[in-house]
Every structure is written in C-alpha cells, then in structure tokens.
Amino acid sequence: MNEVLRSILSSGFITTEDGKIRTLESAISPAEGDFLQEMIRSARPQVSLEVGCAYGVSSLYICEALREVNAAKHIVMDPYQHSVWEGIGLANLGRAGYLDIIDFHETASYEYLSRLSEEHVTIDFAFIDGSHVFDYVLVDFFLIDKLLRPGGIVILDDLSWPSVRSVCRYVLSNLRYQCIGPQSQELPERVALQNALSGVRQDGIGPLLRAPLHRIIAPAWRILMWRIGQLVSAPVRGIPGSRIATVPVVWTASGEE
C-alpha cells in the first residue's frame, strides 16, 4: 500500500500543507477502498473520474490501483477542496506522487461533468461520492452515464443514504444497468426480505411477529415502493445487458460491452 495512505489509515490523522494535524473524517472505509481497487484491477480503466475528494483517501486508493494498470488519467472534481478541506486531498495526492495522472477541478460536479460532455470526453470508470442530496446524485449519474464508454463501471458510495438508494433504484428500473458487486447482487430491501423469509423458514413466524413493529413496517414499505416503482417504470433505453453492482455501501454500474 502507498506509504501516504498507510500512514493516514494507521494514525487516523491527516496533515495540512503547512504541517497542521487534522482528524480524518468523511473518508471511505478500507473495505470500500479495497473494493474500488479490485474493480479497477479487473476493469483496467484508462481514464477514470471521481466526484468528491475531501482529504483524498478514495483518490489515493483509486490512484494506487490505476498505477498498477498503467492508466492515463484520473479526473477529480470537488468545489470545496480548499475552502473546506484546506487543500489536504490534493496535498496527499502530491505527497503520494500521483499528480502526474491527476486532473483536478475545483468545480461543482454538475458544472464540470457538463463541460466534459460538451467536449465528448469518454471515461472507463467513475466513483461518485460528492453531494449526497438526491438530485445531485442523480445528475452526477446522468452526466457520467453520458461519458461512460460501453462496458465501463460506475461506483456509487453510501448506499445507506435513501437518496443514493433512490438513484440506484431509478437506474436499475430505467437504465437497465446490472448489479456486479461481489458481496451482494441485491438492493438492501431485497436482502432484508430474503433474511426475513429464511428466518421464517428456520424459526417460524413467531419471532418475526414479536419484532418491534417499525422493524417490519419500514422494510416492507420500502420493498412495496420498490416493487411498484419497478412495475410502473418501463425501461426507457433499449440497450440490453448493462450491469449494476452493489455491496452494502457501494453500488457499481457498467454500460454494455
């Protein structure tokens, strides 16, 4: 592992350009970092893109794997890199020796992704971890979908956010992407349903009925809405076989080869 990343992970601290110490926050977990690297090693992207840099932890994971596959470029955008994150993400990428492949833009993703789209840029891989507000995530996905070459991969972080899950549901229902995640091929609601059913098969209906009501109603409601969403939204794109993947907190999607 890159020494800069290793020291951040082991200490839990990051350092500003002028040497001030800050506590690490808002970063992906090592498990997510490993998953990103695994995806990059298997997909071998030439051009990748990332929305949301913060202290640069996900970028460090991504760049480490990109180096191994001799990728040409990693485009990163974050409008708050200096105003909020004190330039530490970029500094970390410099300390780790990745600036030669970094194409950084201190711009909101919806602005810069639109520009890339105008310039007909194509990408092979994208990681979305910027604003987690529903419309921002949807717009990120929408614009990245325009840039993604067939067979490319998109990973969305933080599937635990309802807003991110809604985007994933929309993508699955309308854009015919497919799950390719190694840990779970399913939405959490479906996993909850499968767990409940296997519990019933093992222990009968008693324990399920004794569970607090909200633990039954909330997943049941989400499953119902997800199912209705699937039934009412006919696929709008005729490209068969696109893929989307999920692990508990990350979703990936890829276009058709």
Ligand X SMILES: C[S@@+](CC[C@H](N)C(=O)[O-])C[C@H]1O[C@@H](n2cnc3c(N)ncnc32)[C@H](O)[C@@H]1O
Using CB under 6 A as the binding rule, whether residue 252 contacts ligand X is answered as no
Using CB under 6 A as the binding rule, whether residue 160 contacts ligand X is answered as no
Using CB under 6 A as the binding rule, whether residue 84 contacts ligand X is answered as yes
Using CB under 6 A as the binding rule, whether residue 77 contacts ligand X is answered as yes
Provide, rounded to whole angstroms, the least separation between the CB of residue 187 and ligand X.
Answer: 22
| Positions 124 through 153 that interact with ligand X (CB under 6 A) | 129-131, 136
Among 14, 36, 39, 51, binds ligand X (CB under 6 A): 51
Provide, rounded to whole angstroms, the least separation between the CB of residue 8 and ligand X.
Answer: 10
Among 4, 8, 39, 55, binds ligand X (CB under 6 A): 55
Cβ-based nearer residue to ligand X, 83 or 194: 83
Using CB under 6 A as the binding rule, whether residue 26 contacts ligand X is answered as yes
Using CB under 6 A as the binding rule, whether residue 64 contacts ligand X is answered as no
Question: What Cα–Cα distance (Å) separates residue 206 from each residue in 94, 203, 214, 216?
Answer: 58, 7, 16, 13
| Positions 94 through 123 that interact with ligand X (CB under 6 A) | 108-109
Using CB under 6 A, list all residues that contact ligand X: 26-28, 51-58, 77-80, 84-85, 108-109, 129-131, 136
